[in-house]
Amino acid sequence: MKKDLLKMDDLSKEEILDILNLADQLKYEQKHDIEHHHLKDKSLGMIFEKSSTRTRVSFEVGMYQLGGNSLFLTDRDLQIGRGEPMEDTARSLSRFLQGIMIRTFSQEEAEKLAKYSSIPIINGLTDVEHPCQVLADLMTIRENKNILEGLKVAFIGDGNNMANSLMIGCLKVGMNFAIASPKDYTPSDVYLSRATEIAEKEGVTFTVTTSPAEAAKDADVLITDVWASMGHEDEAELRTKAFEGFQINKELMALSDKNAMVLHCLPAHRGEEITSEILEEHANSIFDESENRLHAQKAVLVKLMK
């Protein structure tokens, strides 16, 4: 039976750790020029309805390093751009490919693609979830801190796709999680309820607040994202006012653990959600995080497509 990765909650704690372990192995092998053609002669279709730097390059390079190939497809190239139903596109592409990654706006569109496909579907980002990014984040945190369980992660900013996937992923692997967002920009009740349920099961803390200082207090990891994600550009001015004070800066860092690390999924708007000073001080971890998109996604591809 095929398995998809549409949201972080599709993965159990054991499956997340299994992916991270494989990602570590694949990273080691790549650094030491050890061939790992697990997906020889397999093809990944990559559907892009949102622009991308890291997602496109990491998936293309990843498939090449795994011995397979990838096809870059946009709604301008496919008949879905001219009205073909997703269910028909899904069934046709399933006859040619061994997997599909989709980066789009609607979570429902990704789920419809999965419903009608007979091959694995990977969510490369929707407005609701960003699971591949979170796997890379967890990989980076574990590389830096050597552990995941018991650490405190603080997310400062919009209760968006990153926040949704992060809270589920972090809590599942036994991390304490705090999110600080303006009152009108917290995650949906569905995600807050599910996160609370996971936190209770794992015996960890889950804090939702409108105070960045409360969230950042004693945090081992601080994470942020842009205030206006793709599709919300017309709200940029409104969001700039609403998110005033929700910036990772030296004052907020002073409240966190003295060895706290900072992550950002990029692209960053320096001077908005994070100061240039803090981004540069933590550039090593942020760009390790960026690189780890490659290794974490390769692990996902192997687990789903091999």
List pLDDT tens digits, range 109-146: 999 999 999 999 999 999 999 999 999 999 999 999 99
Q: Which uninterrupted H or E stretch holds 253? A: helix 250-253
Residue 55, marked binder: yes
6 is annotated as contributing to ligand binding: no
Does residue 47 contact residue 74 with C-beta atoms inside 8 Å? yes
Say what the pLDDT of residue 78 is. Answer: 86
What is the predicted pLDDT for the residue at 230? 66
Any idea what the Cα angle at residue 206 is, between residues 203 and 212, rounded to 5°? 150
According to the model, what pLDDT value does residue 174 have?
A: 98
Annotated binding residue at 133? yes
Q: So what's the architecture of 133-291 in CATH? A: 3-Layer(aba) Sandwich (3.40)
Instruction: Let me know the angle formed at the C-alpha of 220 by 239 and 133, rounded to the nearest 5 degrees.
Output: 55
Fold match between domain 8-130+293-305 and domain 133-291: yes
What pLDDT score was predicted for residue 231? Answer: 67
The mean pLDDT values, 10 residues at a time, for the chain of 306 residues are 96 98 98 98 96 96 98 86 87 98 96 98 97 98 98 98 98 98 97 98 98 98 90 82 97 98 97 98 98 98 97
At residue 241, the pLDDT reads 95
Q: Give the number of other Cβ atoms within 10 Å of residue 8's Cβ.
A: 25
Give the pLDDT of residue 185.
97
Buried b (16+ CB within 10 A) or exposed e, 22-32: bbbbbbeebee
Catalytic site positions: 103, 130, 133, 225, 265, 293
161 is in an annotated binding site: yes
The pTM assigned to this predicted structure is 0.96
Classify domain 8-130+293-305 at the CATH class level: alpha beta
Handedness of CA 69, 72, 73, 77 (dihedral sign): negative
For the chain, what are the domain ranges?
Answer: 8-130+293-305, 133-291
Amino acid 81: pLDDT? 66
pLDDT tens digits, 227-242: 987 666 778 889 999 9
Give the residue among 173, 174, 176, 179 at the shortest CA–CA distance from 192: 179
